[in-house]
Chains A and B, each alone.
Chain A
Amino acid sequence: MIDPQTLVFLLIGASILLILVVVIRPSITASREGKIIAFLALFVVPVVAAGVGASEHMERSEHTQFCLSCHIMEPYGRSLYVDDPSYIPAAHFQNHRIPADTACYTCHTDYAMFGTIHAKLEGLHHVYVYWFGTPMNPIRLYQPYNNRECLHCHAGARSFEDPTHLAMMGDLKSNKLSCTTSGCHDTFHNVDKLGQVKFWKAAE
């Protein structure tokens, strides 16, 4: 199976070759076949190539490496390596409870209908603000963290079916009781305290 990046490069190569034919010998457009070639070369194939390229870029934007490429996110990336299991993101990342290569996206996407689109639009807004505006400092979530994002994985898991969680499941599902701010799991990135913690280093 051909991977998307190879497909994009093949489309770009084919497109450039076709365009070069038209650019070097524009007189071919005098014929009907030439017009068709010109239309394919200068419109159809480039649009398809750009579309597949845009799709590939959007897929890559889910990667932890992409999120952490903005300077402002660097401490949040470091917080994933804090050697303290009470740090929820670090514990999830280090124990591969979430995919390490899409760690940010896995917890910060929106597990609702059109959630992926919503998350990516917000991501585009972040990139825009980072490059052309002034990012908020410190950064914060637009909305309180929704339990739905936790329950997407934890609900139904055997390890989660303990009496404590089962007793409050209704309130958790309705967000009456927050997983993150009700005093149970309230240690997150805490980037302002990174100078006071130990860090875990993965074995080579």
Chain B
Amino acid sequence: MLGKLRISGILVILGLVVEALSLCWNNAFSFMSFVVVGGLFFASGILLFLYSLVSSKPSAVKNPWHTGRF
């Protein structure tokens, strides 16, 4: 769970960095970088995060997403 969280965080950061870099230029290449490379990192990071939410097992102590407080 925590591993997935870390990986998704890193993927989203990579996507955001690509987005920031792509905004430094105004041409078709930067646009495609934003859509293809940034979008790929970003989408995989977000999807992995969402997957980690729905796939985590409700073992209260070991899994911090399910402490039983919700």
Assess the A70–B69 pair: CB atoms within 8 A: no
Is residue A99 within 8 Å, beta carbon to beta carbon, of the partner chain?
Answer: no
Assess the B34–A57 pair: CB atoms within 8 A: yes
- Minimum CB distance partner of A131 in chain B: B32
Assess the B28–A46 pair: CB atoms within 8 A: no
Is residue B37 within 8 Å, beta carbon to beta carbon, of the partner chain?
Answer: no
Assess the B23–A53 pair: CB atoms within 8 A: yes
Residues on A with beta carbons closer than 8 Å to the beta carbon of B20: 8-9, 12
Is residue A178 within 8 Å, beta carbon to beta carbon, of the partner chain?
Answer: no
Assess the A42–B46 pair: CB atoms within 8 A: yes
Is residue A49 within 8 Å, beta carbon to beta carbon, of the partner chain?
Answer: yes
Bound: A131/B9 CA distance, A: 30
Within 8 A of A (CB), among B1-56: 2, 5-6, 8-10, 12-13, 15-17, 19-20, 22-23, 26-32, 34, 38, 42, 45-46, 49-50
Within 8 A of B (CB), among A29-76: 29-32, 34-35, 38, 41-43, 46-47, 49-50, 53-54, 56-57, 60-61, 63, 65-66, 69-70
Assess the B8–A42 pair: CB atoms within 8 A: yes
Residues on B with beta carbons closer than 8 Å to the beta carbon of A29: 2, 5, 64-65
Assess the A66–B27 pair: CB atoms within 8 A: yes
Our pick among B19, B32, B46 for the contact of A53 (Cβ within 8 Å) is: B19
Our pick among B23, B45, B50, B65 for the contact of A5 (Cβ within 8 Å) is: B23
Residues on B with beta carbons closer than 8 Å to the beta carbon of A35: 65
Assess the B69–A32 pair: CB atoms within 8 A: yes
Assess the A30–B26 pair: CB atoms within 8 A: no
Our pick among A5, A32, A46 for the contact of B46 (Cβ within 8 Å) is: A46
Q: A8-B23, A16-B16 are in contact. Are A66 and B5 (CB under 8 A)?
A: no
Assess the A23–B27 pair: CB atoms within 8 A: no
Residues on B with beta carbons closer than 8 Å to the beta carbon of A130: 28
Our pick among B10, B19, B38, B65 for the contact of A23 (Cβ within 8 Å) is: B10
Is residue A20 within 8 Å, beta carbon to beta carbon, of the partner chain?
Answer: yes
Bound: A12/B22 CA distance, A: 12
Hey, which bits of chain B sit against chain A, CB under 8 A?
Answer: 2, 5-6, 8-10, 12-13, 15-17, 19-20, 22-23, 26-32, 34, 38, 42, 45-46, 49-50, 64-65, 67, 69-70
Given known contacts A43-B49, A49-B19, what 20 new A-B pairs fall within 8 Å (CB)? A8-B20, A12-B17, A16-B16, A23-B5, A23-B9, A26-B5, A26-B64, A27-B64, A35-B65, A42-B46, A43-B50, A46-B16, A46-B45, A46-B46, A47-B46, A61-B31, A66-B28, A69-B26, A127-B28, A127-B32
